[in-house]
Amino acid sequence: MLRAASRQWIEDPNAEHGQFPMTSILADACAVLGSITRALAVLLLLFAALHTVARIARHIRKFPMPHFLANVIDNPLRRRIQPPERTALRHGIEPGMTVLEVGPGSGTYTIATARRIGAQGRLVTVDIEPEMIERVKRKAVAEGVSNIEARVADVYGLPFDDKTFDAIYMIAVIGEIPLPEKALAEFHRVLSPSGTLAFSELLMDPDYPCASTLTRLAASAGFRLKEKIGNTFYYTLVFEKNPPAAPPNSGAGLPTGPSQASDTRIATGAGS
Ligand SMILES: C[S@@+](CC[C@H](N)C(=O)[O-])C[C@H]1O[C@@H](n2cnc3c(N)ncnc32)[C@H](O)[C@@H]1O
């Protein structure tokens, strides 16, 4: 790729080669840059093609992510975009809370959340795949975290009483559930009246749902948007339960004071 004049200077810079071949070096640098750009473009196109194929395949048939992929999606790039500690904050997790996590995968976000709620808190994590639950248990022991209860369970039939949890969250899970409406009804049942339901999503996930689709689904299940963080590339949506309908003629439900007060809490923008 390098021209002879540049090669001579690189191999033996002290030899007598005559004038420094600036034009030749510049041309070589441009050629190298061009090759790198082309390689990056090919990689990007390859990723986009694979992603599209995976999205179409996942649209036709949904199934839980195989457990051996848990380590693949738990990578440094992912942790930069969705840092575990910051993600717990985005989900509104506070010390002492009773929290339900759905679909922990490798358990990285489970550990961060368990540390956030502290010894007074309780974190229950459920996954349909027993291997995932075993991974989480091993990780909790290795990290010295003892306030995690990891159980095999399906979102369609959560083994908990009504109104058990202060917060429910899931990361890159709802998109791979074939009947999200059924899952949302369960979340509504086990969430306390003042509790929150949070979803974090990443565009790289072949099951990534649009924020507007998820908001519509959640609204149909009796939730309303409380907070939105992020952008199209990654986002977190936090919902709260709609208040119970006011009895007829109670006067409640009519606009009072400055209207749309809840809308002002909707925060949009990157980061948290
Ligand atoms: C793409 S992984 C995400 C893992 C982890 N939350 C993360 O972001 O790294 C989806 C997880 O949801 C779990 N899952 C899928 N369907 C489920 C269901 N019906 N009930 C409970 N867990 C389910 C899968 O087993 C898997 O652990």
| 16 and 118 assigned to the same domain | no
**pTM exceeds 0.85 for this model:** no
Q: Which of residues 27, 46, 61 is at a domain's end?
A: 61
Q: Nearest to residue 205, comparing CAs of 24, 111, 75?
A: 75
What is the CATH classification number for the domain harbouring 87? 3.40.50.150
Per-residue confidence (pLDDT) for residue 229, from 0 to 100 = 97
Q: State how far the Cα of 129 lies from the Cα of 19, in Å rounded to an integer.
A: 68
Per-residue confidence (pLDDT) for residue 16, from 0 to 100 = 62
Number of the ligand 1 atom closest to the C-alpha atom of 132: 27
Q: Mind listing the pLDDT tens digit for each residue in 53-110?
A: 788 888 788 888 888 888 888 899 999 999 999 999 999 999 999 999 999 999 999 9
Total domains, the chain: 2
268 domain-assigned: no
**Is the per-residue pLDDT at 48 higher than 60?**
yes
Tokens of 81: 């975009």
DSSP string, 19-70: S--HHHHHHHHHHHHHHHHHHHHHHHHHHHHHHHHHHHHHHH---PPPGGGH
**Is the per-residue pLDDT at 139 higher than 70?**
yes
140 is in which domain, residue-wise?
A: 68-241
Whether 155 is in the pocket of ligand 1, judged by its Cβ within 6 Å, is yes
175 domain-assigned: yes
DSSP string, 160-226: S-TT-EEEEEEES-GGG-S-HHHHHHHHHHHEEEEEEEEEEEETTSTTPPPHHHHHHHHHHTTEEEE
Whether 172 is in the pocket of ligand 1, judged by its Cβ within 6 Å, is yes
